[in-house]
Amino acid sequence: MESDLNKLLASLPKYPSFSLIHFSDNCNLIDKLKEFTKEAQEYLILTFSKNSLETLGQYENNNIKVQLINPKRPKYHNPSKSYDYLFVTSLPENRESFYKKIYYALKNAAPIFIFLKQSQKELSKKIESELIDNNFVATNILTIDQYIVVSGRKMHGWSGA
């Protein structure tokens, strides 16, 4: 039986030269996303943890890049590059700042998927509300395999972005 995560990934269009950004401090989802991004221009894994850098670094290849990122950095992207998809399996402590910084790293209408543990149902409701407050639309809370996933899309046009 096909997993819900496989169904989700199969539903996402693979545009020519699409790119994906993934915030992670662990290996959760990386194998699945690695398969999904075989034809991608770039799969960028960003981590806030120096301890995770070595473990995540084993995934680097021609299209997968792993970088340590400082949560205090003013932006999380290169201004000349925008990403088609955002997956988050590790959130920083300051979520409000995080949402603002990732907003400009995404293409218009790009989907965001924040993966939480099943025990974090209350947190998922807070995150959904925070996404709405930060110009993400079409938000949903889904159950995908062993995760609660908060999804949304970058609003385009109205926010001035």
pLDDT in tens, 14-29: 888 899 999 999 998 9
Is pLDDT at 160 greater than 70 in this prediction?
Answer: no
pLDDT in tens, 143-154: 999 999 999 999
Does residue 10 belong to any structural domain of this protein? no
Residues 136, 111: contact at Cβ < 8 Å? no
Indicate the number of domains in the chain. Answer: 1
pTM given for the model: 0.92
Does residue 4 belong to any structural domain of this protein? no
Q: Could you tell me the strand order of the sheet in which 64-68 lies?
A: 64-68, 42-47, 19-23, 85-88, 111-117, 147-154, 136-144
Is pLDDT at 1 greater than 60 in this prediction?
Answer: no
* CATH number of the domain enclosing 46: 3.40.50.150
pLDDT grade, residue 80 (50/70/90)? confident
Does residue 38 belong to any structural domain of this protein? yes
Number of other residues whose CB lies within 10 A of the CB of residue 74: 8
Determine the structural domain holding residue 64 and report its residue range.
Answer: 20-154
Does residue 50 belong to any structural domain of this protein? yes
